[in-house]
Amino acid sequence: MHDAPHPRFACDESFPGRQVLRLARRAIERYRLDLRGLRVLTEASTGYRRVTPVIAALAGADEVYAIGRDTAQAARKEAEAQTAYLAGLAGAQDRVKLLATRLLAPMATVDVITDLPGVRPVDEAVLRNVAGTAAVALMGSAAAWRASDVDVAACRRLGIAVAAVDEDAIGLYRYLAVEVARGLLTLAVEIVGSTVLVAGDGKGYAYVVHGLAQMGARVLVAAPESAGRIALYGGEKAADALGDEAALGRLAEADALVLCPEAPGTRWIGPGAAVDAARLAAAAAHIAVVTVGGEVDRRALAAAGLRSYLAGGGPDAPFESLPQPLIELHTAGLKIAEVMTRARRRGSSPLAAEQLAAAEAHAEQLPKDLGARR
């Protein structure tokens, strides 16, 4: 699965399991997550992602159905073994039920459905069979939602409440600078005294600019915001976007390029993107590239002699290399589902349940017009 074993994939004392459980219990207390009387459908997984069913069990869920799946990263058996190890360490092995397929779960009893890879797609095959007051939690922002992952139209048609996590409201973006720092150090870029060009949009890139500036870097910024606003973050505006000649002209000054798009699937370097690897190498043959949440053609970068680092190990998982951001995100998602499910049990409509979650649990509602986005 990996070129070199990493402790986070272990099933022994080399895995920092007690620290992970400590962080999980703290998050449960902070969010006041209480899943007593509820049953949860989620995934069995590897690395730190194995924590999600354990969080649900620690929060009192009657039963947690954790679905393993063969992926490009790991076999189902690995996901089951790693999840079982952490559940056992937490003393929750009796309530975390490892299942080879979601068809084996007693769907009619399920109250909380997560949209994690082991469960996807959350489609009519799932939605028609779960409890009538069930709720779907998107374990990420509304911007990351894909209709192929969760059929929100079917949720609305069948009266199932569904909402995403407001990642800004729960403070998730503050971890981005740590992920970027990890990538820069891995690529042998000393942050203190270095010059870093950050290209981004949305909310997250500002946290990266501020964090790197606080760590002692000079931060050039290619972003659509004004120079005054960027200066408040601690950066110096270089251009509006990475593809601008002004940005490429400043790359020679930089030791590294950091890409922080708002939409997870944004392609920044490669065919059809604003910049290709050859153009980047021509502008700065020494540059190191760190990507957070976007897509780049890493083979082309390597062929051009450029070093690169993909934070979290994948375009949809910018926080998987550290436990706390993922715990924060998934605990918040479970809390949203808890609020919606309990509201539905009290007789609230799906829309009212979603609105309550937005008011009380940092939920982000999906747009009314789904066709406008997908």
Give dist(CA 176, CA 209) in Å, integer.
10
Residue 137 counted as domain residue: yes
Last residue of a domain, one of 313, 336, 354: 313
Distances (CA, A) of 171 to 28, 51, 243, 357: 16, 20, 29, 17
In the chain, which residue ranges form alpha helices assigned H by DSSP?
A: 17-31, 51-58, 76-89, 124-127, 152-158, 176-186, 204-214, 227-233, 245-250, 277-283, 298-303, 323-345, 350-360
Residue 180's pLDDT is: 93
> Exposed/middle/buried for 6, CB within 10 Å: 0-12, 13-18, 19+?
middle
Same domain, 87 and 177: no
Same domain, 109 and 186: no
Residue 1 counted as domain residue: no
> Which residues, other chains included, contact 305 with Cβ-Cβ below 8 Å and sequence gap of 6+?
281, 285
Same domain, 204 and 136: no
Q: What is the pTM of this model?
A: 0.88
Q: What is the pLDDT of residues 226-264, one digit of tens each?
A: 999 999 999 999 999 998 999 999 999 999 999 988 766
Indicate if the pLDDT at residue 318 is higher than 60. Answer: no
Q: What is the pLDDT of residues 335-372, one digit of tens each?
A: 999 999 999 999 999 999 999 999 999 999 998 877 54
Give dist(CA 59, CA 211) in Å, integer.
33
Any idea what the CATH number is for the domain that residue 238 is in?
A: 3.40.50.720
Q: What is the pLDDT of residues 8-24, one digit of tens each?
A: 999 999 999 999 999 99
